[in-house]
């Protein structure tokens, strides 16, 4: 589980307190002047905070879907054997809640489902829904919507980043480069950081897209025109690295991923133009290499197999890199490049093969040892979010179609298919045991998979 790994690498708040780089200044604090307070609306009877927090899961439980791409940020869950099909009698629609548009995937906090929405192109909202009934337990909102450039307008101008839940807190990114920390049980605001003000960085033209990562006592985000580490208890900025200038050409589309390469813990950070490994404690950039992409459209979350880093980009292709930080002159070597291009769907790696939804809307299997594709399907929808368990993959198409696939390099093997949403479904599918949460552009539907 990510949280446990973070503690093992020893990210100490005492050590981190002295790590301000010169670009931030030792006295830089998150801006808190003149902002409007979050509006909190109680929807049910107020439960004392202590009792409510006791309802949240204990760390000993099976890792929950608390963040982008699930417990390990790699799309995998450990849920025992999944059912062997998606016939109508196997999917029970437990409840549905209508919502405003959002690309944020739902995340779980004990008996709550946390979702976001943008309303009237003016305000951003975070809502906590009862997992059993869909009833709203709390809601917060703030002014902060923005419009993306005209050539991206077809993709909408609503909140994008998936929240992260950790130890009773919810970390939510607003479009205008804002990070807000809320108490998971009540929605009470604990702190917020406006990166445009705190770091005097340009507003990201496409909004805050990257999803927060929590390791130990810190939260990491690709925001503020770079990669930023903050104290998760206070929001204090510890350091910023990989300054990309922000605005139109900077500001990341990808999300960070914690891994270990060559025995060295590091965070994979994919910017618009580069792929890098960053030391979680010091912020040292251990290595960096360019990744070709059309207009910096490096969107997927990179992944690691057998100590090597795999990524795929729009307009660039698919790449496998070997990393050896001890090789100071050339720490990164490109092992192969394939012309097939991913787009927005982060890949799943099973048995030495990467399963990828491509820019051309086809689904492909790449052999990571050789870089050769073993098969490519006919076109489907424009985007798939992928969740894996063993050799099974659940793929939610933006068309609202859910597919169950057996991962095998021999051929594309479709096990089952079902319609789970009538509206476009761009948010990441969330899976917890036999519970499936499908966020389409107009609401959230909870299914039980039997």
pLDDT at 153: 67
User: What is the C-alpha separation between 317 and 296, in angstroms, rounded?
Assistant: 13
Taking only the tens place, the pLDDT of each residue in 78-111 is 878 999 999 999 999 999 999 999 999 999 999 9
The residue whose two tokens read 């920390």 is 181
User: What is the C-alpha separation between 238 and 14, in angstroms, rounded?
Assistant: 11
Read off the pLDDT of each residue in 128-140 and give the average, rounded to a whole number.
98
Asked if pLDDT for residue 50 goes beyond 70, the answer is no
pLDDT at 36: 37
Sheet holding 443-449, edge to edge: 91-98, 443-449, 435-440, 430-432
Read off the pLDDT of each residue in 395-406 and give the average, rounded to a whole number.
98
Taking only the tens place, the pLDDT of each residue in 204-236 is 999 999 999 999 999 999 999 999 999 999 999
User: What is the C-alpha separation between 44 and 59, in angstroms, rounded?
Assistant: 27
3-state helix, strand, coil in the chain (%, to 5): 5, 40, 50
Read off the pLDDT of each residue in 135-149 and give the average, rounded to a whole number.
91
Asked if pLDDT for residue 334 goes beyond 90, the answer is yes
Of 2.130.10.10, 1.10.1240.10, 2.40.50.430, 1.20.120.160, the CATH number of 2-445 is 2.130.10.10
Asked if pLDDT for residue 56 goes beyond 50, the answer is no
Taking only the tens place, the pLDDT of each residue in 178-210 is 999 999 999 999 999 999 999 999 999 999 999
Asked if pLDDT for residue 26 goes beyond 80, the answer is no
Asked if pLDDT for residue 383 goes beyond 80, the answer is yes
pLDDT at 7: 30
Asked if pLDDT for residue 22 goes beyond 80, the answer is no
| pLDDT, greater one: 408 or 16 | 408
- Please answer whether residues 362 and 369 qualify as being in contact, where contact means their C-beta atoms are separated by less than 8 angstroms: no
Asked if pLDDT for residue 34 goes beyond 70, the answer is no
pLDDT at 80: 85
Read off the pLDDT of each residue in 245-260 and give the average, rounded to a whole number.
91
pLDDT at 61: 53
- Please answer whether residues 310 and 317 qualify as being in contact, where contact means their C-beta atoms are separated by less than 8 angstroms: no
pLDDT at 234: 98
Read off the pLDDT of each residue in 136-162 and give the average, rounded to a whole number.
86
Mean pLDDT, rounded, of the chain: 87
User: What is the C-alpha separation between 445 and 379, in angstroms, rounded?
Assistant: 26
The residue whose two tokens read 């922000």 is 246
Q: Is 343 exposed, middle or buried (0-12, 13-18, 19+ CB in 10 A)?
A: buried
Length of the chain: 450
pLDDT at 62: 60
| pLDDT, greater one: 8 or 356 | 356
| pTM, 2 dp | 0.86
Q: Where are the domains of the chain?
A: 2-445
Share of the chain above pLDDT 70, in %: 86
Read off the pLDDT of each residue in 271-295 and give the average, rounded to a whole number.
96
Q: Under 8 Å CB-to-CB from 80, ≥6 apart: which residues? A: none
Read off the pLDDT of each residue in 427-433 and give the average, rounded to a whole number.
97
């Amino acid at each position: 589980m990510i949280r446990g790994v973070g503690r093992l690498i020893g990210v100490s708040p005492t050590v981190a307190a002295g790590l301000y780089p010169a670009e931030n200044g030792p006295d830089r604090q998150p801006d808190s002047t003149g902002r409007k307070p979050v509006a909190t609306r109680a929807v049910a009877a107020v439960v004392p905070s202590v009792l409510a927090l006791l309802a949240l899961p204990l760390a000993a439980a099976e890792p929950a879907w608390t963040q982008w791409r699930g417990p390990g940020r790699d799309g995998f869950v450990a849920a025992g054997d999944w059912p062997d099909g998606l016939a109508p009698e196997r999917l029970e629609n437990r409840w549905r809640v209508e919502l405003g548009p959002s690309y944020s995937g739902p995340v779980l906090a004990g008996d709550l489902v946390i979702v976001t929405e943008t309303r009237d192109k003016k305000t951003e909202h975070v809502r906590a829904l009862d997992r059993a009934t869909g009833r709203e337990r709390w809601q917060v909102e703030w002014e902060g919507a923005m419009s993306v450039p005209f050539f991206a307008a077809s993709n909408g101008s609503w909140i994008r980043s998936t929240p992260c839940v950790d130890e009773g807190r919810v970390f939510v990114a607003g479009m205008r480069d804002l990070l807000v920390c809320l108490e998971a049980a009540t929605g009470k605001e604990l702190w917020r950081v406006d990166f445009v003000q705190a770091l005097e960085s340009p507003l990201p033209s496409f909004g805050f897209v990257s999803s927060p990562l929590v390791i130990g006592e810190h939260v990491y985000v690709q925001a503020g025109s770079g990669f930023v580490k903050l104290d998760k208890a206070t929001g204090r900025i510890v350091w910023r690295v990989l300054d990309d200038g922000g605005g139109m050409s900077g500001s990341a589309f990808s999300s960070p991923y914690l891994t270990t390469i060559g025995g060295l813990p590091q965070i994979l950070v994919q910017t618009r133009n580069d792929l890098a490994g960053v030391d979680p404690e010091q912020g040292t950039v251990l290595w960096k290499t360019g990744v070709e992409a059309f207009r910096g459209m490096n969107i997927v979350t990179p992944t690691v197999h057998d100590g090597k880093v795999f990524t795929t980009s729009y307009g660039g292709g698919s790449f496998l890199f070997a990393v050896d930080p001890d090789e100071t002159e050339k720490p990164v070597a490109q092992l192969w490049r394939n012309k097939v291009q991913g787009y927005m769907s982060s890949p799943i790696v099973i048995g030495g093969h990467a399963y990828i939804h491509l820019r051309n809307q086809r689904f492909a299997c790449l052999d990571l040892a050789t870089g050769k594709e073993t098969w490519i399907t006919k076109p489907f929808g424009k985007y798939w979010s992928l969740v894996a368990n063993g050799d099974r993959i659940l793929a939610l198409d933006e068309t609202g179609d859910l597919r169950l696939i057996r991962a095998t390099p021999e051929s594309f093997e479709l096990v089952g298919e079902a319609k789970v949403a009538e509206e476009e479904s761009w948010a990441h599918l969330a899976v917890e045991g036999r519970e499936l949460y499908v966020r389409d552009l107009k609401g959230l539907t909870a299914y039980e998979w039997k």
